Amino acid sequence: MSQQFDTIRNPRLTILAAIEGLTIEQLNTVPAGFNNNIIWNLGHMVAAQCGICYKRAGLALPIDEAFFDTYKPGSKPERFFTAEEFEQIKTLLTTSTNTLEADLQKDIWGNYPTWTTRYGVEIHNIQDAIAFLPFHEGLHIGAIIALKKLV
């Protein structure tokens, strides 16, 4: 299972390295034609992971509910995010994956409900949910790369 988590971790670390050196203003910029920014996409990756794996299963979120609400699906940046918030997101991009991996070993997902993503992917259990994460995050990493070119 560790390789599966590396498939989540490594792209996260790569995109963080790719945006290193951008200013907090650049990270907050919403270019014309976009409805979000780099910081929101990074925070959304954490929130979506928690929503897909924990909230859908009726489990408590391993992150603050206010953080989740700020970056959950359907949200968009409503304010300027601070450097401290960006640091929190960078930390959560690593620690949330570690938490998920540790929780998987505890087998806390006894009754994960079946659902279908907006992309037509049917999720039957926590293993399917974890397997879906790299696809979803790939979409947001692509958005971050496009946003970086415009900021």
pTM, whole model, 2 decimals?
A: 0.95
**Which residues span the domain enclosing 124?**
2-150
The CATH number linked to 63 is 1.20.120.450
How many domains, the chain? 1
What pLDDT, on a 0 to 100 scale, did the predictor assign at position 113? 95
What is the average per-residue pLDDT within 36-59? 97
Cα separation, 14 vs 34, whole angstroms: 23
Amino acid identity for residue 55 in this structure = K
Would you place residue 1 in the very low, low, confident or very high pLDDT band (cuts 50, 70, 90)?
A: low
pLDDT in tens, 110-127: 889 999 999 999 999 999
Percentage with pLDDT > 70 across the chain? 99
Q: Report the chain's mean pLDDT, rounded to a whole number.
A: 96
Q: Would you state the structure tokens that stand for residue 102, as one six-digit string?
A: 């540790």
